[in-house]
Structure 1
Amino acid sequence: MTAQEECGQASAGAMGLEELLALPATVNVTTAGRALGIGRDKAYTLIRAGGFPTRTLTLGDTVRVPTAELWKILGVERRASA
């Protein structure tokens, strides 16, 4: 990927590896969608249709997504510090 392409991804809101690894245990739907490269509306549409690629946690009016499941489907491994 060229520097110009990387810049384009950053401006489009794509999430880099460092930011992905720094996420808390659960994230909101907007952040989960950003990690997956989709928008908030598409993410909620997928959740309502049962097609979101991870489990979601509904807590009252709030929907959270487990970060570890995002990492798994994206093929990201968090390495333990030695």
Structure 2
Amino acid sequence: MATTGEPTLDDIRAWPATVSVPEAAKAMGISKSYLHQLIRNGESPVRTLPCGPNRHRVITASLLRLLEAA
């Protein structure tokens, strides 16, 4: 991990196929509540999979594409 506590791209490349919303939010540099809000509003910049009522997993490949394009 980076010294700031945020994961590096190399760290994220080693993650499993999906990650929790809090993990993805940390990698994106935003709060988990904001990412949850974006998901609820259908405005998430990353692809997610629903995992029950009000629960989602973020697709790691989508997260990587977003971060690599920045």
Instruction: Tell me the TM-score range normalised by the shorter chain.
Output: 0.7 to 0.9
Q: Does 1:44 align with 2:36?
A: yes
Q: Kindly tell me the number of residue pairs found equivalent between the two proteins.
A: 67
Structure 2 distance, partners of 1:20, 1:59, is 21
How large is the RMSD of aligned CA atoms in angstroms?
Answer: 1.8
CA drift of 1:21 comes to 1.7
Matched AA of 2:23: T
Structure 1 distance, partners of 2:23, 2:6, is 10
Matches within 5 A, 1:23-62: 23-61=15-53, 62=55
- The Cα offsets for residues 17-36 of structure 1, whole Å up to 9 and x where unpaired, read as 23212211100100111111
| Structure 2 unpaired stretches of 5+ | none
Work out which of the two has the higher radius of gyration on C-alpha atoms and give 1 or 2. 1
User: Structure with the greater relative contact order (CA < 8 A, sep ≥ 6): 1 or 2?
Assistant: 2
